[in-house]
Amino acid sequence: KVRNGHEPEFIQAVQEVAETVIPYIAKNEIYNGKNILLRMVEPERLLSFRVAWVDDEGEIHVNRGYRVQMNSAIGPYKGGLRFHPSVNASILKFLAFEQVFKNSLTTLPMGGGKGGSDFDPKGKSDDEVMRFCHAFMTELCRHIGPNTDVPAGDIGVGAREIGFLFGMYKKLRNEFTGVLTGKGLSWGGSKIRPEATGYGTVYFAQSMLKTQNKDMSGKTVVVSGSGNVAQFASEKVLQLGGKVVTLSDSSGYIHDPEGIDMEKLEFVMDLKNNRRGRISEYAEKYPSAKYFKGEKPWNVSCDVALPCATQNELDGDAAKSLLENGCICVAEGANMPSTPEAVHAFHDAKILFAPGKASNAGGVATSGLEMSQNSLRISWTREEVDERLKAIMEDIHDSCIEYGKEEDGYCNYVKGANIAGFVKVADAMLAQGVI
Ligand code: NDP
């Protein structure tokens, strides 16, 4: 706290892990007295750099670029890049810290990292985004590589941005390698990667429901966000027979009591991915829906909630409202969307609650599969990748049960994910000595 006191999101993420991992360390001789957690909370490297670029009017702008290389004990650093005006060292350190545990949970050999910039892609032309991405990569390319650090997308970084970033890396290094994941299918991308985080979140929710002999079919589902994760989480809910009734963006949410079917979801995908519009347009197009400006969807009655937008979007009051309205399962598609008060409320009510580091790990797991395909110079079919994704999500679920089951039979998935993720990284760190 003394060293990182000015970084609230990072402290929040570390505290959540410490609450469950410190008692485990105390009980396990091999980890005791080795200051493992103290070593884990200090990034191996934190890079910050100037990104200067020119807009369409010829004006010069300066943004700050970052890469947090958090932990490489079990593999090359791996984690997304976020472009959003709120980006700062605290947010990226929280994301990189969570990423270490998440990547460990996937069972694939990937360390943890995260990066990005306070650049705001909203309202920028394609050319401006390209010039920014190129400028960003001219510095980042010195610090990454297929065996060193492999970035991917996150908020504000999708297929378009990955393309521009990859193009500049290839030009500067004169090599075609799997240095980024989330690439286009014709140039090294993996099938199912765009869908993977959202699909994986729903596979995880399905595994949780199964422990109570329930499933997604017939469930009413509240989703927040309308970006990559929200879109494909919604698609998978529909495929499994559930009904999605909300979506949101940073301006507000829409509630469609008739349900967002596949045709309506395709409208949202085009709206958000191609036209880069606002979710309010959904209510203009579909009269069955109502738009709630400046609000979040947590007052809507549901069986399952999937927060898929951003950190701390679901607070204690929102959790209370979800519980009062009958919600039995919450699976985080976003990273740390629930505040500590919300998490405690879900645990007190003993409902099914999955933290993002477990339930949204499908994205990075499929990125790991993209890295394998790049190394082998092969391309697996959609079905093959989806099968592997499903198997990984089930494995993560089993690990959470193994370490998170409490005496009364309730599974604390937060505890399970934290300890399962910790053990593998800690063992590798111990084996490699004090470095
Ligand atoms: P996108 O940029 O595709 O979508 C983000 C969505 O969240 C948009 O609807 C956006 O609204 C909304 N949003 C962003 N910031 C805020 C905010 N401050 N308040 C309210 N709404 C906000 O990002 P992704 O879907 O990729 O990421 C969503 C979450 O999932 C993030 O937490 C990310 O870290 C996490 N995640 C993503 C993975 C991936 O593979 N993409 C993997 C694992 C986790 P608007 O359009 O108004 O900006």
Q: Strand order of the sheet with strand 290-293?
A: 290-293, 252-255, 243-249, 220-224, 304-307, 329-331, 352-354
Burial of 381 (0-12, 13-18, 19+ CB in 10 A): exposed
Residue-level pLDDT at 2: 67
Which one of 359, 390, 405 terminates a domain? 359
Ligand 1 contact via 333 beta carbon (within 6 Å): yes
Q: Which run of H or of E encompasses 427?
A: helix 413-432
Distances (CA, A) of 344 to 16, 98, 350: 11, 19, 10
Read off the tokens for 380: 């697996």
Q: Is 293 known as a binding-site position?
A: no
Q: Please report whether residue 408 resides in a domain.
A: no
- Ligand 1 atom with minimal separation from the 95 CA: 34
Ligand 1 contact via 227 beta carbon (within 6 Å): yes
Distances (CA, A) of 244 to 136, 210, 228, 254: 37, 19, 16, 11
Q: Please report whether residue 30 resides in a domain.
A: no
Distances (CA, A) of 17 to 97, 280, 340, 357: 10, 37, 11, 11
Write the DSSP symbol of residue 185: G
Read off the tokens for 300: 């809507």
Complex ipTM more than 0.85, yes or no: yes
Q: Return left, alpha or beta for 149; rule: phi > 0 is left, psi -120 to 50 is alpha, else beta.
A: beta
The whole-angstrom separation of Cα 32 and Cα 242 is 46
Q: Take atom 2 of ligand 1 and give the residue whose Cα is closest.
A: 155
pTM over 0.90? The answer is yes
Q: Please report whether residue 349 resides in a domain.
A: yes
The answer to whether residues 47 and 102 belong to one domain is: yes
Say how many residues make up the chain.
435
The answer to whether residues 115 and 61 belong to one domain is: yes
Ligand 1 contact via 363 beta carbon (within 6 Å): yes
Residue-level pLDDT at 319: 98
The whole-angstrom separation of Cα 121 and Cα 164 is 13
Structural domain harbouring 105? 42-174
- Pair 146, 114: CB distance under 8 Å: no
Kindly give the confidence (pLDDT) of every residue in the chain, 435 residues in length, as a single tens digit, with 9 standing for 90 and above: 668 879 999 999 999 999 999 999 999 999 998 999 999 999 999 999 999 999 999 999 999 999 999 999 999 999 999 999 999 999 999 999 999 999 999 999 999 999 999 999 999 999 999 999 999 999 999 999 999 999 999 999 999 999 999 999 999 999 999 999 999 999 999 999 999 999 999 999 999 999 999 999 999 999 999 999 999 999 999 999 999 999 999 999 999 999 999 999 999 999 999 999 999 999 999 999 999 999 999 999 999 999 999 999 999 999 999 999 999 999 999 999 999 999 999 999 999 999 999 999 999 999 999 999 999 999 999 999 999 999 999 999 999 999 999 999 999 999 999 999 999 999 999 999 998
Q: Please report whether residue 152 resides in a domain.
A: yes
Q: Please report whether residue 411 resides in a domain.
A: no
Q: Please report whether residue 261 resides in a domain.
A: yes
Q: Is 78 known as a binding-site position?
A: yes
The answer to whether residues 152 and 207 belong to one domain is: no
- Ligand 1 atom with minimal separation from the 86 CA: 18
The whole-angstrom separation of Cα 40 and Cα 423 is 12
The answer to whether residues 118 and 73 belong to one domain is: yes
Residue 224 Cα, ligand 1 centroid: separation in angstroms?
Answer: 9
The total of structural domains in the chain comes to: 2
Q: Is 251 known as a binding-site position?
A: no
Give how far the C-alpha of residue 327 lies from the chain's centroid of Cα atoms, to the nearest Å: 22
The answer to whether residues 165 and 216 belong to one domain is: no
Which CATH number does the domain housing residue 338 bear? 3.40.50.720
Residue among 193, 111, 173 nearest 147 (CA): 111
- 87-126 core/surface letters (b: 16 or more CB in 10 A; e: else): bbbbbbbbbbbbbbbbbbbbbbbbbbbbbbbbbebeebee
Distances (CA, A) of 426 to 38, 152, 246, 304, 392: 11, 25, 40, 34, 21
Read off the tokens for 250: 């940073």
The answer to whether residues 47 and 163 belong to one domain is: yes
The answer to whether residues 151 and 282 belong to one domain is: no
Read off the tokens for 385: 């990748």
Residue-level pLDDT at 1: 62
The answer to whether residues 204 and 316 belong to one domain is: yes
Q: Please report whether residue 168 resides in a domain.
A: yes
Q: Is 405 known as a binding-site position?
A: no
Name the residue of 81, 124, 154 whose CB sits within 8 Å of the most ligand 1 atoms, as the mutation to test its pocket. Answer: 154
Catalytic residues: 114
